[in-house]
Structure 1
Amino acid sequence: MKLFTKLFAVLAAGTLLPLTAGASAAVPEPAAPEPVALKTAPYVDVTQEKPTLPEIAEATGQKTFTLAFVLGSAAGCTPMWGGEKALDDPAVLGQIEQLRAQGGEVAVATGGAMGPYLESVCGTADELLGAYKQILDATGSNHLDVDVEANIPQDTVNEALAKLQAERGTEVSYTLRVQGDETGVDPYSLQVLQSAAAHGVDVTVNPMAMEFGSSKPWGDAVIAAAESTLEQMKGIWPDLSDADLKAKLGVTPMIGRNYNGNVFTQDNARQLVEWANTNKIGLLSFWSAGRDNGSCPGGGVSPTCSSIDQQPYEFTKILQDFTG
């Protein structure tokens, strides 16, 4: 076998070509999958055992999701689900495989409300790039969502994202905090986007339309926050048309009861879908599919229910009317 390894390399099925003495066969890196457009991608906390991706897909027909969250770990720049569960955990990867067998696809989110962020513990852009590649290789995805709810070394992150897109064509979204319905994302989030533009990163801007103050009815407030974010985007990408900017905009509310006391209702969801279709934005999502049930109406904010009266997966089904 050693002699044959030195003399031949398989370069195409059924084709053997000789190698020069001392040469070795180069094994090209597997090509990244072509990104499939994710128009609606509810967040799913895959650190929870239920509900699973196949269960939601079977119950609703929803086939695209955003998996939350990959963090750093005690080992530092080592990506893990929730910072504790191995990236190649068979329970998580098994769900993804089953979902794909049903025709589905996933984006993977880093960051979120908890730490440690990969973006902070990976010391260089190349180290962070390597961590991002591990995430995409493990899940077979080519969609990455960076959820920024704490300060990050933004130029380092955007350098890594620019390299990732240059190598793989990865679709990238930034999920960002909203300051108010009249102001859009907060000043720090705006700096993150300005850095992304400076580094040439092509991003979807996904404001978290939740937990901000407003005197408007909550459905109106969510839409106003999205419109204000769109105005901010015009200042960052002045050469893009209105239609192109809208195609780079996402909106992610928190269904049911929010921590600020407001309630995002089923009627609010329908209102948002109508606005999103009229404006042909790029993405609708929500936090989260695991909360999309009415098992605790009238209760406080919960990670496992919406705290309002609703049918199982009612919000998931409403957002399926979004056509982009």
Structure 2
Amino acid sequence: MRSVLRRTRRALLALVGSAALALAGAVALPGTAAAANILSNPGFETGGLSPWSCTGNLGSIVSSPVHGGSKALAGAVSSSDNAQCGQTVPVQPNTAYTLSGWVRGSYVYLGVDGGASTWTSSPSAYSQLSVSFTTGASQTSATIYVHGWYAQGTYYADDISLDGPGGGGGGSDTQAPTAPGNLTSTGKTSTSVSLSWSASSDNVGVTAYDVYSGANRVLSVSGTTATVSGLSPSTSYTFTVKARDAAGNVSGASNAVTVTTAANSGGGTTGFKQAAPYLYLGWGDPPNAASVMSSTGIKWYTLAFMLDSGGCNPAWDSSRPLTGGTDQSVINQIRSAGGDVVPSFGGWSGSKLGANCSSASALAGALQKVINAYGLKAIDMDIENSDEFENEAVQAKILTALKTVKANNPGLKTIVTFGTSTTGPTYYGNRLIEQAQSLNADIDVFTIMPFDFGGGSDMYGNTVNAAEGLKTKLKSTFGWDDATAYAHIGISGMNGLSDQQENTTPATWTKIRDWSNSHHIARLAYWAVNRDRPCAGGGVVSNCSGIDQSTWQFTSITAGFTG
């Protein structure tokens, strides 16, 4: 939360140096590379990855930021996968080559498998990397790669070039691999299908497998498993797989397998609904939570804020103990009255776990401490300001940690909360959603904060427009239909006057609540119960709304949210 109303690397392992490519048995001087790029799709302008393949299916094509043209590669690094993307090409033996490319991100590597590599630490814009190597006396193929570093966030690569003569000549490989066998589906959701198959054989070696949906190649991978995402619910798809070698020879197709995706089976489509206004126990004359529940019918509170007390250790507001203090006492009262809480991690200011924990695994450990302390059903990551929201590496760290704790706590719901424009997510909001998809983070609710965005007088219209913009982004990113996208949306408003003097009246909030119910979104919240008291002309303060209203009126309206 912002201003008065919203208070509130890792050390890298020793880096592996470049190693010279083995030239055992070489007796002739290396040839000279011709000035020609022998890589395919070097600038990713086809809009697809092929023939590049990426570990963990973590590579994607983006339109921003790019170095040249209109497309670039994005590698969504996780805490356990450096998102290595590679391409194998035929080369000539005992020949000098130069590999170069433009990269952007924290600790990005460019190299040749089994040989030379180079890296850059953390450019703020695209930086060119270059390395030379010489092939072995009998070498006929080389695998070029680019990758990031664990838990250091998404990297970008563009305009990669391998200058030198291509493989070929009288001894070029013309034999295609055998067709992959035993293609089968190993799992599905409403938007994805997982596949596996038996390996092909080749006289030189298989370098990639191309997955087809009908006649369209949708994915290229180096192993014998793949997950095809971005599909539509309750839809039938037929898949085949073909093998490819370094010379570009392609096998026949595998057996076909037909799979129908599930009906709205993912994430927040499981009936999760939450009316949970924020309550801040360290600010703004906090009211008695149980009394407000009795007066309004509200059942859930979003408790703010869980921060870092130092060393990636969670504490309420950085200073109040995780357990045994006022916050635990209030949580016990809420639960005794038949309600529950969702802690909110982060906010606009303060020392945040997402920014300060050294890695995704360390952050997941901090989240787990809070989950264990209170037996939580849901957690909210309020991702704001330049240290978290406008830092793509920290975004990825947070999403990876949420993926980890969700996997380790069956049934836990994960919520991310972030700012918006009047028409939908901003650049960093879009990046957050795209990274969630790339990481398969399985976020249940994407909650926008439609205020302090210069929204003017029509807070209902601008809130609805922002939510519709979020729906459109979720549909395009995840391949969801309208109903599935709405079921992953949350709205977190501000009652009364905002920092920018936007006025959300009780009548406006009622309209927003009714729209939310009619579109069956997942979550409705507002900042904050501390301010749900009248003070017409009181301005922007912590313990009242600045407008004429009834006490606890916004909370009563929110309690009517059913989704």
Question: Structure 1 length normalisation: TM-score?
Answer: 0.84
State the Cα distance separating 1:92 from its structure 2 match.
1.0
Distance 1:216 1:257, change over 3 A: closer
- 1:126-141 matches, within 5 Å, as 126-141=361-376
- 1:162-241 matches, within 5 Å, as 162-169=403-410, 170-178=412-420, 180-182=421-423, 184-203=424-443, 204-214=445-455, 217-238=458-479, 240-241=480-481
- CA distance, structure 2, for counterparts of residue 312 and residue 234 of structure 1: 39
Aligned to 2:526: 286
Shifted more, 227-236 versus 47-56: the winner is 47-56
State the Cα distance separating 1:160 from its structure 2 match.
1.2
Distance 1:223 1:290, change over 3 A: same
Q: Does structure 1 residue 53 correspond to structure 2 residue 270?
A: no
- CA distance, structure 2, for counterparts of residue 228 and residue 291 of structure 1: 28
- CA distance, structure 2, for counterparts of residue 193 and residue 118 of structure 1: 20
* Equivalent pair of 1:253/1:285 in contact (CA under 8 Å): yes
Q: Deviations over 1:294-316 (max 9, x none)?
A: 0x211221111101111110011
- CA distance, structure 1, for counterparts of residue 463 and residue 486 of structure 2: 16
Secondary structure of residue in 1 paired with 2:312: strand
Q: Does structure 1 residue 98 correspond to structure 2 residue 333?
A: yes
Aligned length: 285
Shifted more, 308-317 versus 57-66: the winner is 57-66
- 1:1-324 matches, within 5 Å, as 37-48=272-283, 50-73=286-309, 75-150=310-385, 151-152=387-388, 153-169=394-410, 170-178=412-420, 180-182=421-423, 184-203=424-443, 204-214=445-455, 217-238=458-479, 240-294=480-534, 296-324=535-563
Aligned to 1:24: none
- CA distance, structure 2, for counterparts of residue 93 and residue 215 of structure 1: 39
* Equivalent pair of 1:38/1:64 in contact (CA under 8 Å): no
- CA distance, structure 2, for counterparts of residue 50 and residue 257 of structure 1: 18
- CA distance, structure 2, for counterparts of residue 215 and residue 137 of structure 1: 43
Shifted more, 88-97 versus 202-211: the winner is 88-97
Report the AA paired with residue 54 of structure 1: A
Q: Deviations over 1:261-306 (max 9, x none)?
A: 1100011011111211111111111011111110x21122111110
Report the AA paired with residue 174 of structure 1: V
- CA distance, structure 1, for counterparts of residue 322 and residue 280 of structure 2: 14
State the Cα distance separating 1:214 from its structure 2 match.
3.2
Distance 1:126 1:36, change over 3 A: farther
Secondary structure of residue in 2 paired with 1:116: coil
Report the AA paired with residue 529 of structure 2: A
Report the AA paired with residue 160 of structure 1: A
Report the AA paired with residue 442 of structure 2: D
* Equivalent pair of 2:307/2:314 in contact (CA under 8 Å): yes
Distance 1:53 1:36, change over 3 A: farther
Q: Deviations over 1:79-138 (max 9, x none)?
A: 111111111142211111121111111111001011211011110111111100111122
- CA distance, structure 2, for counterparts of residue 190 and residue 155 of structure 1: 13
Aligned to 1:21: none
Report the AA paired with residue 289 of structure 2: L
- Which has the higher Rg, Structure 1 or Structure 2? 2
Question: Structure 2 length normalisation: TM-score?
Answer: 0.49
State the Cα distance separating 1:36 from its structure 2 match.
9.6
Larger relative contact order (CA 8 Å, sep ≥ 6): 1
- CA distance, structure 2, for counterparts of residue 91 and residue 293 of structure 1: 23
Secondary structure of residue in 2 paired with 1:293: coil
Report the AA paired with residue 293 of structure 1: R
Q: Which runs of 5+ in 2 are unaligned?
A: 1-269, 389-393
Secondary structure of residue in 2 paired with 1:44: strand
State the Cα distance separating 1:216 from its structure 2 match.
5.7
- CA distance, structure 2, for counterparts of residue 36 and residue 215 of structure 1: 34
Greater share of strand: 2
- CA distance, structure 2, for counterparts of residue 79 and residue 96 of structure 1: 16
- CA distance, structure 1, for counterparts of residue 452 and residue 526 of structure 2: 13
State the Cα distance separating 1:215 from its structure 2 match.
5.0
Distance 1:321 1:176, change over 3 A: same
- CA distance, structure 1, for counterparts of residue 296 and residue 518 of structure 2: 24
- CA distance, structure 2, for counterparts of residue 106 and residue 283 of structure 1: 13
Distance 1:164 1:262, change over 3 A: same
- CA distance, structure 2, for counterparts of residue 215 and residue 67 of structure 1: 29
- CA distance, structure 2, for counterparts of residue 89 and residue 297 of structure 1: 38
* Equivalent pair of 2:273/2:562 in contact (CA under 8 Å): no
* Equivalent pair of 1:36/1:105 in contact (CA under 8 Å): no
- CA distance, structure 1, for counterparts of residue 431 and residue 460 of structure 2: 27
Secondary structure of residue in 2 paired with 1:87: coil
- CA distance, structure 1, for counterparts of residue 538 and residue 456 of structure 2: 23
- CA distance, structure 2, for counterparts of residue 268 and residue 237 of structure 1: 31
- CA distance, structure 1, for counterparts of residue 558 and residue 396 of structure 2: 34
State the Cα distance separating 1:218 from its structure 2 match.
1.8
Q: Which runs of 5+ in 1 are unaligned?
A: 1-34
- CA distance, structure 2, for counterparts of residue 80 and residue 38 of structure 1: 27
- CA distance, structure 2, for counterparts of residue 226 and residue 216 of structure 1: 17
Secondary structure of residue in 1 paired with 2:433: helix
Secondary structure of residue in 2 paired with 1:86: coil
Greater share of helix: 1
* Equivalent pair of 2:279/2:286 in contact (CA under 8 Å): no
Identity of aligned residues (%): 29
After superposition, the CA RMSD in angstroms is: 1.7
Report the AA paired with residue 541 of structure 2: S
- CA distance, structure 2, for counterparts of residue 125 and residue 103 of structure 1: 34
